[in-house]
Structure 1
Amino acid sequence: MAHNATLDDGCDDPAVPRPYAWLVFALTFGLLISDYMSRQVLNAVFSLLKSEWALSDARLGMLSGIVALMVGLLTFPLSLLADRWGRVRSLALMAVLWSLATLGCGLAQNYGEMFLARFLVGVGEAAYGSVGIAVVLSVFPKHLRASLSGAFMAGGMFGSVLGMALGGAIAAKLGWRWSFAAMALFGLVLALLYPLLVREARIAPGRAGRPAPPRVPLASLFNSISVRAAYVGSGLQLFVGGAFIVWMPSFMNRYYAMGAGKAGAGAALVVLASGAGMVLCGMLSDRLCLHAPARKISLAIAYCLGSCLLLSFAFTLAPGALQLALIGAGMFLAAGTTGPAGAMVANLTHRSVHGTAFATLTLANNLLGLAPGPFVTGVLADRYGLDAAFQLVPLVSLAAALVFWYARRHYLRDVQRAVGKIMQVAA
């Protein structure tokens, strides 16, 4: 597409050996998995904490929501700091902080101490996603960006799967405190290895003699209807996905009479379906929309409506195989908007501000979706029951679909305007 090429012009392939690039990807991906293992292990032990400390569902939801809230609030400023201080050192420091905070969760003696530790987990994880993907994309040719972005973002789902499955299994055998300790140890080992093997000078070689990219004002992150709608639509849809990921182990425990280990494993399969949907729905969007970019937004609308229908209907059924199959299908579609929303943001902003643009998308995803979703679900569960709450939460996808529909009306015109402004800046 001509407009895509213009928005991403002047980007040469990096002079990084391919084996080293894949090493950087593997270690950065591994830390992303650690990030989400530390974040989501809590979900696997909700029932144990609820019983031991006599907690309401709303207070449990706050333990999950505080992490997403801090990620949302801090991702933008910490991403900017990482660009100035050094991405490799920043990523290693982030991993040390969230790992030590996760260990603090295992040592917590009451709700207040656990809340403080989860707060620090959120601070440590705040900018990892935006800075980590910037590191990965910096060492690979630009024609691999879409595939690498999809795979990297799906790593969060796979980390969630491991965190809930392993956390539940460890809690069943050794107690919930050891679940947090295991996640902390994994993160600390990778955090120590990362700066030893990944060097700033090798992932950001000098560009002497090459023309500097044009300076693009940060206001370009918000100066079109479509890009603002992409932020909002993505965040609203993740309200649904985030709520289900957090509360699914508790649902398995309460309505399928599963212990912590089996509930964590069962919920992990649901999250795995969501991760697979993130990758495959993104690939489908790229395949079907190669010559019709606005069609990606139509697919995002379809993903929103499909997930709403499947999930709402699933929780009108009695527990059983059919209900689980519909939940899996609904979660497969629930994260499908991640690819189209990311493509919209990339196409509507210049590559020189892509890191900040994706930090803004992360901000919206957390403040509109991942932070309030678990808390609101907990409040509804306290009042009506978790099964009834799960019937209501998918309705937020209707709002997300409406926002994407509004974006589709303006998308092509906004892309052309973005191209014109970039050309003016370059001139």
Structure 2
Amino acid sequence: MFTHAEPLTGDVSTTRKGVPAYAWVVFVLTVGLLLSDYMSRQVLNAVFPMLKAAWHLSDTRLGSLSSVVALMVGVLTFPLSVLADRWGRVKSIVLMAAMWSLATLGCALATNYGEMLLARAFVGIGEAAYGSVGIAVVLSIFPARLRATLTAAFMAGGAFGSVLGMALGGAVAAHFGWRAAFGAMAALGIMLVVFYRFAITEKRLAPLQPANVGRQAQGAGVCMSLRTLIQGLFSTKSVVCAYVGSGIHLLVPAAVWAWMPSFLNRYYGMPAGKAAMGAAVFVLATAFGMVVCGNLADRLSKHARERKWSTAVAFCLICFVLLTIGFRMPAGPAQLVVIGAGMFFCAGATGPSGAMVANLTPPSIHASAFATLTLANNLLGLAPAAVLTGIVADRIGLLGALQLVPFAPLVAAVAFFIGKRNYGVDLDRLSALREQAGS
């Protein structure tokens, strides 16, 4: 099936014993830009009440301002990731970050819904391939044994960025207005772009990558036919299940992050600034949960490769139970505690999903593989979450809409369970194909 011979690492660690200090510098700076990415994306949620009052917007229109970003990411992540492999990942990262920062500045200058929607669309275009290209850069310079942990930590950077975007954006908006909140996020992004541009280069990354991975990762987009690329991306049932399960289970954090400030504003009587700060706590719970769950998945699967799937199923089921109970409880501290516990597990399958995608695809197409994962994450979960919740909320109220959201991880658990049943056979088959190609 593959026309090239290269390692499909599965759950086996690389032979590199230590991790160079510069690798951690790359990780920190790449996550730093991811923080800016999500700060620019989620600052909008902090000012939902202000925009609703200023422009008399319906919940559907408010939700569309959030969902259009994820929609652009979903539609463009794959083609832009392939272009990044051809043009250069570092240069692409710098260009993308500059675009979303300038588009966020455009949000600050918008005078009506149409202008804001256009600016938000360009935020999405800028962010489209960052997640897939960024994580491909990180995974290329670290041992395979750390994949679930690194993937979870990297993706958790999005949650932490959401916290900062909502909390800082809400605080700035409360004192200086919603336009200043967007302006602050834009300024931070531009500063990080300049720093990243001078600190990280393809030339400095090359010595940290295994020789075959470094060459192939940069040449894959040029040398590999589209048919071979598609075969590598969708070669097994289990990798398809990883894409689908990951995308569907992320509908929960996307919906709750987008609407929690409004939930606290409407049902707890909190002013916009305080509601944004309160909602940030739930996003923070998700971020810590992603890291803890990813690390737990790596630890539990050291000697049993299928356990990553089992942990993904468990995290989804726990989230379903806790949030189903939480959103049906009466308003009060107990309700918020149960919802917070559910949010801790709501993105717990992110790390295992990313590790499975990396294990089931060749290193030379990891940027494209993570682009496909990002596509699934956005089209199945992140993009429709806010706007669908808004549409339902216009009909049965926001609380009723949020009570339906927890059923998404139940569906994701089924996908992960199917993936688990096929995983061992798929890994063995891919290893046999690799040996065949190498002989």
Q: TM-score, normalised by structure 2?
A: 0.91
- Is 1:353 the counterpart of 2:355? The answer is no
- String of CA shifts for 1:234-255, please: whole Å, max 9, x gaps: 1111111211111111111111
Q: Percent identity?
A: 59
Contact 1:8–1:350 (CA under 8 A) maintained in structure 2: no
Output aligned runs, 1:15-164, within 5 Å.
Answer: 18-164=20-166
Deviation at 1:209, TM superposition (A): 8.4
Supply the distance in 2 between the matched residues of 1:20 and 1:377 (Cα, whole angstroms). Answer: 43
Deviation at 1:149, TM superposition (A): 2.6
Supply the distance in 2 between the matched residues of 1:327 and 1:207 (Cα, whole angstroms). Answer: 42
Supply the distance in 2 between the matched residues of 1:102 and 1:166 (Cα, whole angstroms). Answer: 15
Deviation at 1:150, TM superposition (A): 2.4
Contact 1:103–1:184 (CA under 8 A) maintained in structure 2: yes
Deviation at 1:124, TM superposition (A): 0.2
Structure 1 residue runs of 5 or longer lacking an equivalent are none
- Is 1:242 the counterpart of 2:249? The answer is no
Supply the distance in 2 between the matched residues of 1:189 and 1:198 (Cα, whole angstroms). Answer: 15
Supply the distance in 2 between the matched residues of 1:167 and 1:24 (Cα, whole angstroms). Answer: 27
Supply the distance in 1 between the matched residues of 2:369 and 2:354 (Cα, whole angstroms). Answer: 9
Distance 1:23 1:266, change over 3 A: same
Greater Cα shift, 114-123 or 261-270: 261-270
Supply the distance in 1 between the matched residues of 2:269 and 2:69 (Cα, whole angstroms). Answer: 28
Supply the distance in 2 between the matched residues of 1:39 and 1:315 (Cα, whole angstroms). Answer: 25
Distance 1:410 1:140, change over 3 A: closer
Deviation at 1:146, TM superposition (A): 4.0
- Is 1:224 the counterpart of 2:236? The answer is yes
Match of 2:396 in 1: 384
One-letter amino acid of the structure 2 residue matched with residue 34 of structure 1: S
Distance 1:421 1:137, change over 3 A: same
Output aligned runs, 1:174-213, within 5 Å.
Answer: 174-205=176-207
Deviation at 1:290, TM superposition (A): 1.7
Contact 1:243–1:373 (CA under 8 A) maintained in structure 2: yes
One-letter amino acid of the structure 2 residue matched with residue 204 of structure 1: A
Supply the distance in 1 between the matched residues of 2:199 and 2:343 (Cα, whole angstroms). Answer: 36
Match of 2:418 in 1: 406
Distance 1:426 1:270, change over 3 A: same
Distance 1:131 1:12, change over 3 A: farther
Give the secondary structure class of the aligned counterpart of 1:223.
coil
Deviation at 1:21, TM superposition (A): 2.8
One-letter amino acid of the structure 2 residue matched with residue 188 of structure 1: I
- String of CA shifts for 1:35-91, please: whole Å, max 9, x gaps: 000000000000111111111111111111110011111111111111111222111
One-letter amino acid of the structure 1 residue matched with residue 103 of structure 2: A
- Is 1:393 the counterpart of 2:402? The answer is no
1:331 to 321, 343, 346: 343
Deviation at 1:204, TM superposition (A): 2.2
Deviation at 1:148, TM superposition (A): 2.8
Q: TM-score, normalised by structure 1?
A: 0.93
Supply the distance in 1 between the matched residues of 2:407 and 2:210 (Cα, whole angstroms). Answer: 53
Give the secondary structure class of the aligned counterpart of 2:405.
helix
Distance 1:44 1:408, change over 3 A: same
Distance 1:100 1:14, change over 3 A: farther
Match of 2:3 in 1: none
One-letter amino acid of the structure 2 residue matched with residue 371 of structure 1: A
Greater Cα shift, 295-304 or 356-365: 295-304
